[in-house]
Chains A and B, each alone.
Chain A
Amino acid sequence: MSLQSFTPSQALTLGVELELQLVSTHDFDLAPQAEDLLRVLKNHTGTWDVKPEITRSMIEIGTSIQRQHAVLLAELQDLRDQLSRGARKLNIGIAGGGTHAYQQWSQQKIYPGERFHYISELYGYLAKQFTVFGQHVHVGCEDGDRALWLLHALSRYVPHFIALSASSPFVQGVDTGFDSARLNSVFAFPLSGRAPFCLGWDEFGRYFDKMTSTGVVNSMKDFYWDIRPKPEYGTIELRVCDTPLTVEKAAALACYLQCICRYLREQKPFEPAEDDYLVYTFNRFQACRFGLDGEIVDPKTKERTRLRDDILRTLARVDEHALDLQALDASNLIRESLFAGNDAQWLRAQRSAGKPLSAVVEAATQRWMGAG
């Protein structure tokens, strides 16, 4: 199978996908009720989309194509409100967060669907362990070449998104010490990590052909890269974020990405190079492990800085783009969260009050569902 051509799309348009947890209101463990919620939401009034995910305790929602923060946020809030009403009708809760704090992966049930059964058969227990929850952000690009350039230029900022969105400190009932333990689950997949360094769509097509000839992959869906091109949508897709605990944070993260993309495209502050990836896994690890307190190495200058400071400097650089994109509210929310702490810290704070993990999940559920 050959790589399909890249469908052109309007530059810097946004699409947000959120994988969400469905929890029981009794014990706040994951509840296998995705089919029920999808049925209840079948006639929802929004332009957004709700889909099943690999296990029955997850759903994925996707916004329509957006350009501005305010509209994106309004759509996410509408989505959150309708989802919450549906969940209340079914006596379940919906929560953000990259992992469920104490679910047992072996108890999870694969959602009935051809693709999910294929993944389950191929990856065995890893498929059930993949009951983790992420935010994916699509950014529109005019063509494949520009998409790949942007994809590699963005690699320097991947730790920003990991640290800002980190909301998965607890796994299987214990504090892992990581702010984002979710990405460790993703890393178990053989085709995860970074995309190969190709800056042209034709060259990428040749790589794809070689991979398909080995029989290892059939489509782009088989790649679990941190950022991957999505030729059918005409986008690149950032996949490193944990699902935040609120839709407001999700919208802000998406628009922060939009601002960085505009900054990179218009100012071209550097040219991406293969050597940028020398520090990629180190920086990624620091962001996962220590969140905003982690340190990263600039791939160009080789300077070592605190991630929090690097994000602050980046925010200053992209502010004029935020102004042009009408995304200043998003930038401000990101700036505030640098001082207030990320969602992983919020979850740990809930736990440190002496509450059991079920209470932490309930608090996260209330935070996501809000008053909607």
Chain B
Amino acid sequence: MPTQANAATAVAHAASAPLWTLDGLRAADPVLGLALLMLVALLLAEMLHRTWRIPRICGHMLTGAIAGPVMLRLFEGLELDPWKPLIDLAIGAMLFELGTRIRPRWLLDNRWLAASCLLQSALCGALVMGALVWLGAPWLTAAVAGTVALSTSPVIVLAVTHESRSRGQVTERLLLMAAVNAVIAVIGLKVLRIMLASDADSPTEEFTRASISALRVISGSFLLGVACGFALDRLSPLVRGTPAMPVLQIALVIIASMLAAQWTLSPLLALLVAGMTARARMKHGLTVEPHLGSAGAVLNVLLFICLGLLFSLEGIGRLWPWVLVIVLARLLGTALAVGVLARRSGLGWHQAAGLSLALQPMSSLAVLLAADTFGWTTHLPGAHTPTIQALLLATTLMQVTGPIWTQLALRHLAHETNEG
């Protein structure tokens, strides 16, 4: 354990170290450090993309992982706190964009697709939970892990479809299912919270409180999203035809995110609904550039670097069977749900395989973004640590490799990328 004096000496030494050394970089201004990291991330991503056709976001995340606590320790977790609003904004921008891409009416036009979405979420969640309970996890922690694991990262799939410029049935279903299962995950966490109430000292009172809270969050997020969509519709004519349109969209995304956080609502739900409302209201008048324009693209790079910085490999040697079980249960659940209803919902076998694989990137961030707001972690004081740690490791693994699976699926199984 270093003493205070030793630590002070180390900091002083680091501060005086040249910038090109590791110590120098660790002591550098965080803004400068992040800017340098972005530069490295861009170069590494480009190199990986040109050499092995690996999605660029893998390069961005890898840069973050190398610079983060796992390897070079240029950034420690706590240092990311000041950047959280920017990260939230990057996610918010992508969720809003995803919302504008989704046509909920499709779920009514194709009931088998709706069934497929529900079955995929249910099977993934249930299989992950069942497998974890079988390995010895307590059911409640396993249920939380299953609920988090059922969702696919909307941010990753949107980034990969943008980069590969894919178009087609699998791409459309991928985006829709990623949005739907993220929403189901959020609602699932709220339901778990209500179920937890039955274990409280005064169950009836706690149950009522939890139910009201869940209703407030879901309906409040929905209303906030609708209001945001209406606001964009009303304000757009003022800036139509000017380069300010993406700025207006970003401003509204920030406002919606901040209000959702302020009112402890779900930013995920609010922004998805905002995007859907804006599309429904404005129809062809709504132009949404990828990442909401070039400013959004910068935030996007920053987001994936930060995702890399958050990676953790702690306990991998001990927990790898648990991690493997989570990953395989998700894959099995998705493949079963998509495969069983493939033909009925109008999908070919190759496409079903492609969609199952493309749905593999896991989503911790979108769910945790909501989860932090819900504060469910505080309601799990006795959470089974290995389970949570295994979930984190599985998420890390499927975030860093997920874009590759999605890209492979869209390119080689679905043949929907532009290179095809």
Q: Is A302 an interface residue (CB 8 A)?
A: no
A89 and B169: CB pair below 8 A? no
Q: Which residues of A contact B284 (CB under 8 A)?
A: 355-356, 358-359, 362
A31-B167, A32-B167 as given contacts; A88 in contact with B101, CB under 8 Å = no
A32 and B416: CB pair below 8 A? yes
Q: Which residues of A contact B103 (CB under 8 A)?
A: 25-26, 91
A36 and B283: CB pair below 8 A? no
Q: Is A286 an interface residue (CB 8 A)?
A: no
Q: Is A246 an interface residue (CB 8 A)?
A: no
The 4 residue pairs across chains A and B that have the minimum distance between CB atoms: A88-B109, A359-B284, A91-B106, A89-B110
Chain B residue nearest in CB terms to A85: B109
- What's the nearest-Cβ distance from chain A to residue B44, in Å? 30
Chain A residue nearest in CB terms to B173: A91
- What's the nearest-Cβ distance from chain A to residue B216, in Å? 32
19 further contact pairs, Cβ within 8 A, besides A24-B167, A36-B169: A24-B172, A25-B103, A25-B106, A26-B101, A26-B172, A31-B167, A35-B348, A36-B168, A36-B346, A86-B346, A89-B113, A89-B345, A91-B103, A91-B109, A109-B420, A355-B284, A356-B284, A358-B284, A359-B283
A36-B169, A356-B284 as given contacts; A107 in contact with B109, CB under 8 Å = no
A89-B346, A362-B284 as given contacts; A33 in contact with B168, CB under 8 Å = yes
A40 to B347 Cα, complex, angstroms = 8
B348 and A39: CB pair below 8 A? yes
B110 and A91: CB pair below 8 A? yes
A331 to B418 Cα, complex, angstroms = 46
Q: Which residues of B contact A356 (CB under 8 A)?
A: 284-285
Q: Which residues of A contact B101 (CB under 8 A)?
A: 26
Chain A residue nearest in CB terms to B283: A359
B346 and A32: CB pair below 8 A? no
Chain A residue nearest in CB terms to B113: A89
A175 to B365 Cα, complex, angstroms = 46
A86 to B347 Cα, complex, angstroms = 12
Q: Which residues of A contact B348 (CB under 8 A)?
A: 35-36, 39
A and B contact pairs by CB, cutoff 8 A, 10 listed? A31-B168, A33-B169, A36-B346, A39-B348, A89-B110, A91-B109, A91-B172, A109-B420, A355-B284, A358-B284
Indicate which residue in B110, B172, B285, B416 contacts A88 across the interface (CB closer than 8 Å).
B110
A20 to B113 Cα, complex, angstroms = 25
Complex interface residues of chain B between 81 and 114 (CB less than 8 A to chain A): 101, 103, 106, 109-110, 113
A370 to B225 Cα, complex, angstroms = 32
Indicate which residue in A26, A40, A358 contacts B346 across the interface (CB closer than 8 Å).
A40
**A binding-site residues for B, Cβ under 8 Å:** 24-26, 31-33, 35-36, 39-40, 86, 88-91, 107, 109, 355-356, 358-359, 362
Q: Which residues of A contact B110 (CB under 8 A)?
A: 88-91
What 0/1 readout, one digit per residue, does chain B (165-183) give for beta carbons within 8 Å of chain A? 0011100100000000000
A90-B169, A91-B103 as given contacts; A39 in contact with B418, CB under 8 Å = no
- What's the nearest-Cβ distance from chain B to residue A366, in Å? 12
A25 to B104 Cα, complex, angstroms = 12
Chain B residue nearest in CB terms to A31: B167
A90 and B283: CB pair below 8 A? no
Chain B residue nearest in CB terms to A29: B167
Interface residues on B, range: 20 to 34
**B binding-site residues for A, Cβ under 8 Å:** 101, 103, 106, 109-110, 113, 167-169, 172, 283-285, 345-348, 351, 416, 418, 420
A26-B103, A355-B284, A358-B284 as given contacts; A89 in contact with B167, CB under 8 Å = no
- What's the nearest-Cβ distance from chain B to residue A131, in Å? 14
A89 and B420: CB pair below 8 A? no
A15 to B284 Cα, complex, angstroms = 38
A107 and B418: CB pair below 8 A? yes
A90 to B284 Cα, complex, angstroms = 21
A24 to B101 Cα, complex, angstroms = 11
Q: Which residues of A contact B346 (CB under 8 A)?
A: 36, 39-40, 86, 89-90
A355 to B283 Cα, complex, angstroms = 11
Chain B residue nearest in CB terms to A56: B168
Q: Which residues of B contact A32 (CB under 8 A)?
A: 167-168, 416
A36 to B416 Cα, complex, angstroms = 12
Most buried by A among B101, B283, B346, B348: B346
Q: Which residues of A contact B169 (CB under 8 A)?
A: 33, 36, 90
- What's the nearest-Cβ distance from chain A to residue B183, in Å? 18
A50 to B106 Cα, complex, angstroms = 23
Q: Which residues of A contact B109 (CB under 8 A)?
A: 88-89, 91
Q: Which residues of A contact B167 (CB under 8 A)?
A: 24, 31-32
- What's the nearest-Cβ distance from chain A to residue B351, in Å? 8
- What's the nearest-Cβ distance from chain A to residue B194, in Å? 34
Q: Which residues of B contact A26 (CB under 8 A)?
A: 101, 103, 172
Q: Which residues of A contact B420 (CB under 8 A)?
A: 109
- What's the nearest-Cβ distance from chain B to residue A41, in Å? 10
Q: Which residues of A contact B106 (CB under 8 A)?
A: 25, 91
Q: Which residues of B contact A24 (CB under 8 A)?
A: 167, 172
- What's the nearest-Cβ distance from chain A to residue B412, in Å? 14
- What's the nearest-Cβ distance from chain B to residue A357, in Å? 9
A45 to B149 Cα, complex, angstroms = 42
A36 to B355 Cα, complex, angstroms = 14
- What's the nearest-Cβ distance from chain A to residue B289, in Å? 12
A33 to B420 Cα, complex, angstroms = 14
Most buried by B among A90, A109, A356: A90
A107 to B167 Cα, complex, angstroms = 11
A35 to B415 Cα, complex, angstroms = 11
Q: Which residues of B contact A355 (CB under 8 A)?
A: 284
Q: Which residues of A contact B347 (CB under 8 A)?
A: 36
A39 to B342 Cα, complex, angstroms = 12
A89 to B345 Cα, complex, angstroms = 7
Q: Which residues of B contact A362 (CB under 8 A)?
A: 283-284
Chain A residue nearest in CB terms to B109: A88
- What's the nearest-Cβ distance from chain B to residue A371, in Å? 14
A144 to B416 Cα, complex, angstroms = 45
A154 to B219 Cα, complex, angstroms = 66
A359 to B286 Cα, complex, angstroms = 11
A362 to B279 Cα, complex, angstroms = 14
A130 to B283 Cα, complex, angstroms = 30
A91 to B112 Cα, complex, angstroms = 13
A358 to B109 Cα, complex, angstroms = 22
A26 to B420 Cα, complex, angstroms = 21
A262 to B278 Cα, complex, angstroms = 55
A174 to B172 Cα, complex, angstroms = 28
